[in-house]
Structure 1
Amino acid sequence: MLFVIVAIGVLGILAGAGLFFFYAQSAPKITQSALSSDTSTRVYDANGKVISRLGAQNRNYVQNSNIPTTLKQAVVSTEDRRFYKNNGVDPIRILGAAFANVSGSSLGMQGGSTLTQQLVKLSVFSTAAADRTLKRKAQEAWLALKVDHNYSKDQILEYYINKVYMGNGVYGMQTAAEYYYGKDLKDLELPQLALLAGMPQAPNDYDPTTYPQYAEKRRNLVLDAMAKNNAITSAQAAQAKVTNIKTGLVKTHHSTTTDAKTTKVIDAYLKQVYAELKAKGYNTTTGGLKVYTNLDMGAQKKLYSIVNSGNYVNFPSSKFQVGSTIVNPNNGQVVAMIGGRKTGNVTFGLNRAVQTDRSSASTAKPLMDYGPAIEHLYYPTYEPVKDTAFTYPGTDKSLYDWDKQYQGTITMRKALYESRNIPAVRTLQNVGISKATKFLEGLGMTFDKTLTLQNGIGLYISSEQEAAAYAAFANGGTYYKPYLVSKVVTQDGKKHNYASTGKRAMSAATAFMLTDMMKDVITNESGSGRSAAISGLYQAGKTGTDSYPDDYADKVPDGATMDSWFTGYTKNYAVSVWTGYDKQFQTGHYVSESQTTIAQEIYKYEMSYLAGKSTNTDWTAPSTVTRTTQNGKTEYYVTGHPGTVTDTTATSQYGSTNNTNSSAYSSNNQATTSSSTSKTESSTTESSTSKESSSTEQKPSGNGNDDDNNTQTSSTNNADDNKN
């Protein structure tokens, strides 16, 4: 029996050794260049040009001769007490770490990897959790043995001290000494060197400026380790512990980015890139990543110039803000993004392009009202809709148009390009909240709670989401989730490609008919988006303005709004622009009636630039759409569903009394049936939430975000007076 056990043990050892050498054969090569290089994340634009090297600018390499002995002792005592005795791999350390993990006695000081193994990992391997495999650990150990054989202990320490991430975009302990203390390593005292030695394990958590209490505990653990390792005496450790953790810290820091001017231009885009990388599980601080993005630097610079230079638009003040996103309709690539204007030297500031706490106002109408009506009820572009007095079901709250007038029965086309509220909400009521919500889901928007009729004139979504949704109108009905990162190359050379898979969100007929109606928003003499017109360009779009609540309306001038939007597109680009103030209820922070066109002007100048680098082609009607003439105008209907032609001339200025059922004007019998069903469902929903229903636009409970990264506020906005 003993013989069998011994034999099995020997076979296990031989098998393990065989597997180790099998894995070792495929280990990547490790060079002096890899060991000495920084591990910052490099970000490239769509043309393959480096636009950001996080932490690279201030990485000042320090030679071994200028590294204080005290720092070397602190690093070794903290990371690898047997560093000078092992050969790069330490079996005793591995067993000790395993026991410490089980017993809980390690205090986070000594893991299973030697300092040399950590250097190898930082130099040639991906740091992603998914890559921590047995094969990778075997290769890491093999390379550590080779590094220990080829380089001296002082060289290995030099490489490690210059490579580790130290928080705030800083790489290397020399750079950290300059960043945190404004001094060279050789000029620091024991307490400061001990802090730096302990930071690499969790640099953000041990930042002495942000988390002094954690930094102090970590520093003291390093001092205890140094005393235990006989690098300093217990008395020296005790004296150093008395030093305040903030002693010597500077208040201003050097920049840690490659080009401050360029970084300012791409700040919002870059912030969103890092958010995408984090969501995918990448470590952007120690990963040594090469990140390839969809950024069109020319379009980005142009957008930045439009909102910051003063050469294009007359902004009322420096506090007037902008959030904008540009998407390629044919693949979902985000090619440019602006998160604000006049932001100063703030890095990774508020990105208003992805905020979801402001109402999209009437830009919601094609998304929630008219799009679903064409898709599910087969409304033609000339569908008769009623602009008459309307009260939300189950309430005494009335809804008004921007001019407080009624036009009676008009066409859906006219209701859209003049941005009439009542016909939009009536249309949504006929479609039903359920079908409308499903339509929105197809365009990448989900909400925590049931939407209401009020959301038909205002959704809480971002410019990124809206640009991607309108892009589906532009390309014939296919939705692509917007994305910024196209490829990531990890430190071990592995390539990871990313793309958005298109999903059919609506019929080609719906997309074409919406586009044809939204052309009139820009070109019709009564259209709400005439300031976005670009001569000769085939384009479509929608305006949106969000008025103040009734209880605040008397504090701002007539026609003043909280938010103003314009989202427009060609076959090549979709551009969404939000404008307004961060603190819209602060005195003077309103968008005046004349200033509501600023969003359109930003769009116009940016789209003019984009049009100059792309083909200008018009949309062609799909075979599922039939062209007709109604009242001397070209109109369209879904083939097989021509509807009933009705005289849509306004009967009176104020129309008829409230009538929530417009089925008499439905396109066809099938649509009438669908409309009645939807109406019942909608009415039930509204009556159950009648306490929330009012003429004031209600904020949805969800944030409309694909990944729920944004937080909603609890304020409510009034969309009664949306004239856009």
Structure 2
Amino acid sequence: MAFSSIYLYLKPGLPSVESLRDIRLQTPLRIYSRDMKLIGEFGEKRRSPITIDQTPEMFINAILAAEDDGFYSHSGVSIKGLMRAARQLIASGSIQSGGSTLTMQVARNFFLSREQRFIRKFNEILLSLQIEQELSKDEILALYINKIFLGNRAYGFQAAAQVYYGKDINDLNLAQWAMMAGLPKAPSTYNPIANPSRALVRRNWILKRMLDLGHIDQDEYKNSITAPVSARFHGRDLDLSAPYVAEMARKEAVDLFGDAAYTDGYQIITTVDSGLQDAARKALQHGLETYDGRHGYRGPEQRLDVELLADNDQLVDLLKEIPVLGGLEPAVVTAVNPQSLMVQLRDRRVVEIAWENGLSSIRPYISENARGARLTSAEEMFAPGDVVRLRRIVISAEQIAAEQKAAQEAALASAAEALADTNITEDPFSTPEGLEQGEPAEAPEDREEWHLTQVPAAQGALVSLEPEDGAIRALVGGYDFRQSHFNRVTQAARQPGSSFKPFIYAAAVENGYTAASIINDAPIIFEQTNLEDVWRPENDGGTFLGPTRLRKALYMSRNMVSIRLLQALGLDRALSYTEGFGFDRSKLDRNLSIALGTSALTPLEMVRGYAAFANGGFRVEPYLLDQVLDVHGDTVYQALPLTVCRDCPLPGEAPTSEAEPIDLQSVRHEAAASANEEEPLELRTLPVAPLSADEQARPRAPRAMQAETAFIMDSMLKDVVKLGTGRKALTMKRGDIAGKTGTTNGPRDAWFSGYSPYLATSTWVGFDDNTPIGRNEYGGSAALPIWIDFMSAALDGLPERHLPQPEDIVTTRINPRTGMRTSRGGIFEIFRANRVPSRETYSNYPSIYSDGPSNPSNSDSQSQESVPEELF
């Protein structure tokens, strides 16, 4: 009667057990690259739900031996366990154990608190009875395995296996399973990391229980109880370092799903390629470190009190608080010698920095334009207590062996030459004295060296996307995310300088100009109504070339030509045209200075514009999230980006070709297989394959410029690499790369935006506070090397690929001085068929001073009528 009364009193307030079937375990948001490399995890609770079928049987036996060996025989409540708990309460006067079954623990974990009150215990018992009626034993056990808290933010045994052992639950051994099974009783008390001795006792007790219950034999028991405690903390290991990408994806996930993004187990699959992302990170860090090295050593990061050197524990703790940035380890100088430093690392090791490992090349930083003299002694710059940065370099055994062999061969050659000079006649088949090989040397081992360096003060950005649909393949928003979370790819609006000029030139080509049009590269002054407000733009170096072809003006980056070109086009026409590339017209200055790239734009906006040059004239929109899966693996979001489709059929029509889209991996294999062909594959023009049926369903990318304009601009931008400010990229030995440098006044910003038909990439270097980067720094010296490093890795193994030539494009010979068609000498130039210039005659010559477009007619009888503009 008492039990019934309690049941009738408590039952109305009990939650519905049916809700357990639909319960959502809090699972963190996980972000992956396109090839499923983990790049980020966000959420308060670490959890990786698994099913009973995915759980090892021996591990289930360990859980049951530790918590509830009668689980499969009772009906949710163990009378024996409750009686034992009652006896302990009576004997001790306090609650020692609750006598809970696994079912009762599930009831408590999902519905109740852990407070030790009798009313809670009664609720737990009643709920357990209901759970057993509604759910199967395997369903209850699965809830327990995935819900239980096991310390270190781990919820569920799969997550705990990752935290304590860095493995999946299926990859653990018997001793580790028993250790895991001991955690639910008291995750803090039996934690193998925080309290290994007590955890060991608990583990061995569980192993003995498993032996007594017949789950393991005597040999398994003996081998397991002697196994050492191997648990240590494993933070969730990321497969790929892409924190700026992960943060962008996190924000987009929250925009899509709100706060549920952190708890509902969504999996974000981004467009980022793991190989390209890693290459981008390395290229940017190396480029910034190289730039920084050209401007001198700024000295130690900080100076610690010398007295701290005596307290090794405190010193190590201080070093551990300093983050590793860009792979550069912090260290403390413990002793200074004239030609070396002794430094202590965070792992308590003391290593020597040799003079040749970064000390001999040090020149103190004075300003961005000046450095001091080289050090003659380390004592001039360093003192005990200085915090410095080191880069660990491992020299492989193979490299050491090669160096030893080269040194030995040089020594033998030198000794042989010395003996030859003595004119001693000996047996030609004998080994000269002193050249005996001796005993073979032991095989060398890898050697570790530490080099002195520093964290760059300058910052940078790199972003690369697929020209065909705008998929972001690599993105690095700064030197190191731990140094600054500010994403310079999307948030840093800076002046692009001359890298903006191609958009003005494209507008000109679209509106009647040709690559051979002549524009006067001469001084120009703009006076406002206020006499003090005068703008005198200049070319870099202060020189002027006079009448200059458009093609040459672009690859030589002549400012005066760009300004006169924009002036002739008109601001409204030029600004309207740039909108087709995706630029926000409201962000562009409404004056002629935009021809020099004075409007602030982000690297992401710039690379979107350059993608149109790479894909033949189409505007695409950059996107990062490709697909979102829910906790069950079902697709809940699929990107539908604007996609280039040159030969898509109209709705209802069949595709014009059954060819599949080009796959970069297969192209690489094709290139390797054809290495012995007479015609190198890299010299062919590869046609662009039609899109697959799924890709044809995507919205079509609109045109930013006509195909003919895109082809001409592509040719002109390739000359920037072949003949102009981008010549450093010739080291790549590719004919399908193009782009434009950019350097702003100061100089304060260095840019290179460029592409191949495979990828469009923009790089930027500068200071966050907009201070000058140095008078001898340019886009070609600071930003272009980063672009080269990245694109060399990205295009490795890929054959050259060029835009298809439109039918309306023709090639003719011109006089490079006048831009007119000629039949003798000259150079070849490409034109639209209806814009081939007139044949050269004396009457044509004055037209070379015109600021207007060349005569579009190809008639020899017509002459261009224009008033020559004075050169100076």
* Shorter-chain TM-score tier: 0.5 to 0.7
Give how far 1:662 is off: 2.0
Match for residue 630 of structure 1 among 814, 822, 832: 814
Per-residue CA shift, 1:79-120, capped at 9, x if unaligned?
A: xx9x969x99xxxxxxxxxxxxxxxxxxxxxxxxxxxxxxxx
Give how far 1:457 is off: 1.4
1:271 aligns with 247
1:394-413 equivalence runs, <5 A: 394=528, 396-413=534-551
Structure 2 residues not aligned, in runs of 5+: 1-17, 50-62, 68-101, 164-183, 189-231, 294-454, 643-700, 816-825, 859-872
2:525 aligns with 391
Give the letter aligned to residue 135 of structure 2.
N
Name the CA distance, whole Å, in 1 between partners of 2:132 and 2:275: 44
Name the CA distance, whole Å, in 2 between partners of 1:390 and 1:573: 38
Give how far 1:400 is off: 1.1
TM-score normalised by the chain length of structure 2:
0.48
Residues 359 and 563 of structure 1 are in contact (CA less than 8 Å); yes or no, is this contact kept in structure 2?
A: yes
Pairs aligned (count): 478
Give how far 1:594 is off: 6.6
- More deviation, 446-455/628-637: 446-455
1:605 aligns with 789
Name the CA distance, whole Å, in 1 between partners of 2:233 and 2:563: 51
Residues 323 and 338 of structure 1 are in contact (CA less than 8 Å); yes or no, is this contact kept in structure 2?
A: yes
Give the letter aligned to residue 528 of structure 1.
T
Name the CA distance, whole Å, in 2 between partners of 1:647 and 1:186: 97
Per-residue CA shift, 1:561-601, capped at 9, x if unaligned?
A: 1110111111111111001111232xx75463378513111
Name the CA distance, whole Å, in 2 between partners of 1:449 and 1:295: 28
Name the CA distance, whole Å, in 1 between partners of 2:600 and 2:251: 21
2:30 aligns with 42
Give how far 1:509 is off: 0.9
1:509 aligns with 2:708: yes
Question: Which structure is larger by alpha-carbon Rg, 1 or 2?
Answer: 2
Name the CA distance, whole Å, in 1 between partners of 2:588 and 2:527: 16
Give how far 1:634 is off: 2.1
Residues 467 and 615 of structure 2 are in contact (CA less than 8 Å); yes or no, is this contact kept in structure 1?
A: yes
Match for residue 562 of structure 1 among 748, 767, 775: 748
Give how far 1:390 is off: 1.6
Q: Cα 1:513–1:310, aligned 2, differ >3 Å: closer, same or farther?
A: closer
Residues 384 and 646 of structure 1 are in contact (CA less than 8 Å); yes or no, is this contact kept in structure 2?
A: no
Match for residue 538 of structure 1 among 718, 733, 736: 736
Residues 737 and 755 of structure 2 are in contact (CA less than 8 Å); yes or no, is this contact kept in structure 1?
A: yes
Name the CA distance, whole Å, in 2 between partners of 1:310 and 1:337: 15
2:275 aligns with 298
Q: Partner of 1:478: helix, strand, or coil? A: coil
2:616 aligns with 476
1:417 aligns with 2:555: yes
1:344-363 equivalence runs, <5 A: 345=482, 349-363=485-499
Q: Cα 1:516–1:633, aligned 2, differ >3 Å: closer, same or farther?
A: same
Give how far 1:619 is off: 3.1
Q: Cα 1:414–1:309, aligned 2, differ >3 Å: closer, same or farther?
A: closer
Residues 46 and 153 of structure 2 are in contact (CA less than 8 Å); yes or no, is this contact kept in structure 1?
A: yes
1:428 aligns with 566
1:488 aligns with 628
Give the letter aligned to residue 150 of structure 1.
L
2:725 aligns with 528
Give how far 1:278 is off: 3.8
Residues 57 and 257 of structure 1 are in contact (CA less than 8 Å); yes or no, is this contact kept in structure 2?
A: no
**Higher RCO by CA contacts (8 Å cutoff, separation 6 or greater):** 1
Q: Cα 1:669–1:435, aligned 2, differ >3 Å: closer, same or farther?
A: farther
1:499 aligns with 640
Give how far 1:514 is off: 0.8
Residues 562 and 591 of structure 1 are in contact (CA less than 8 Å); yes or no, is this contact kept in structure 2?
A: no
Q: Cα 1:445–1:68, aligned 2, differ >3 Å: closer, same or farther?
A: same
TM-score normalised by the chain length of structure 1:
0.57
1:466 aligns with 606
Give how far 1:286 is off: 2.2
2:758 aligns with 572
Name the CA distance, whole Å, in 2 between partners of 1:430 and 1:542: 22
Per-residue CA shift, 1:175-229, capped at 9, x if unaligned?
A: 99xx9xxxx99799xxxxxxxxxxxxxxxxxxxxxxxxxxxxxxxxxxxxxxxxx
1:257-268 equivalence runs, <5 A: 258-259=236-237, 262=239, 265-268=241-244
Q: Partner of 1:378: helix, strand, or coil? A: coil
Name the CA distance, whole Å, in 1 between partners of 2:270 and 2:542: 47
Name the CA distance, whole Å, in 2 between partners of 1:356 and 1:645: 49
Q: Partner of 1:464: helix, strand, or coil? A: helix
Give the letter aligned to residue 298 of structure 1.
G
Give how far 1:381 is off: 0.5
Q: Cα 1:284–1:447, aligned 2, differ >3 Å: closer, same or farther?
A: farther
Match for residue 370 of structure 1 among 505, 509, 516: 505
Residues 332 and 481 of structure 1 are in contact (CA less than 8 Å); yes or no, is this contact kept in structure 2?
A: yes
Q: Partner of 2:262: helix, strand, or coil? A: coil
Q: Partner of 2:469: helix, strand, or coil? A: coil
1:272-351 equivalence runs, <5 A: 272-281=248-257, 283-309=260-286, 313=290, 315-316=292-293, 318-341=456-479, 343=480, 345=482, 349-351=485-487
Give the letter aligned to residue 345 of structure 1.
R
1:616 aligns with 800
Give how far 1:306 is off: 2.1
Residues 463 and 489 of structure 2 are in contact (CA less than 8 Å); yes or no, is this contact kept in structure 1?
A: yes
Give the letter aligned to residue 236 of structure 2.
T
Q: Cα 1:187–1:662, aligned 2, differ >3 Å: closer, same or farther?
A: same
Residues 271 and 471 of structure 2 are in contact (CA less than 8 Å); yes or no, is this contact kept in structure 1?
A: yes
Residues 313 and 602 of structure 1 are in contact (CA less than 8 Å); yes or no, is this contact kept in structure 2?
A: no
Per-residue CA shift, 1:580-636, capped at 9, x if unaligned?
A: 111232xx7546337851311111121111221433123342112222221222212
Q: Cα 1:289–1:359, aligned 2, differ >3 Å: closer, same or farther?
A: same
Give the letter aligned to residue 378 of structure 1.
G
2:683 aligns with none
Q: Cα 1:345–1:593, aligned 2, differ >3 Å: closer, same or farther?
A: closer
Give how far 1:468 is off: 2.1
Per-residue CA shift, 1:307-328, capped at 9, x if unaligned?
A: 3357994543612221011111
Per-residue CA shift, 1:50-86, capped at 9, x if unaligned?
A: 333334895599998999989976699xxxx9x969x
Name the CA distance, whole Å, in 2 between partners of 1:338 and 1:370: 29
Structure 1 residues not aligned, in runs of 5+: 1-28, 89-144, 164-168, 189-253, 549-560, 671-724
Name the CA distance, whole Å, in 2 between partners of 1:340 and 1:320: 9
Q: Partner of 2:831: helix, strand, or coil? A: strand
Name the CA distance, whole Å, in 1 between partners of 2:638 and 2:833: 41
Name the CA distance, whole Å, in 2 between partners of 1:472 and 1:147: 64
Give the letter aligned to residue 509 of structure 1.
E
Q: Partner of 1:640: helix, strand, or coil? A: helix
Give how far 1:480 is off: 1.2
Name the CA distance, whole Å, in 2 between partners of 1:147 and 1:402: 82
Give the letter aligned to residue 36 of structure 2.
G
Name the CA distance, whole Å, in 2 between partners of 1:455 and 1:256: 52
Give the letter aligned to residue 284 of structure 2.
V
Give the letter aligned to residue 519 of structure 2.
V
Name the CA distance, whole Å, in 2 between partners of 1:256 and 1:401: 57
Name the CA distance, whole Å, in 1 between partners of 2:841 and 2:283: 45
Match for residue 135 of structure 2 among 131, 150, 167: 150
Q: Partner of 2:468: helix, strand, or coil? A: coil
Give the letter aligned to residue 134 of structure 2.
H
Name the CA distance, whole Å, in 1 between partners of 2:827 and 2:286: 42
Q: Cα 1:315–1:516, aligned 2, differ >3 Å: closer, same or farther?
A: same
Q: Partner of 1:268: helix, strand, or coil? A: helix
Residues 466 and 759 of structure 2 are in contact (CA less than 8 Å); yes or no, is this contact kept in structure 1?
A: yes
1:245 aligns with none
Match for residue 593 of structure 2 among 450, 454, 458: 454
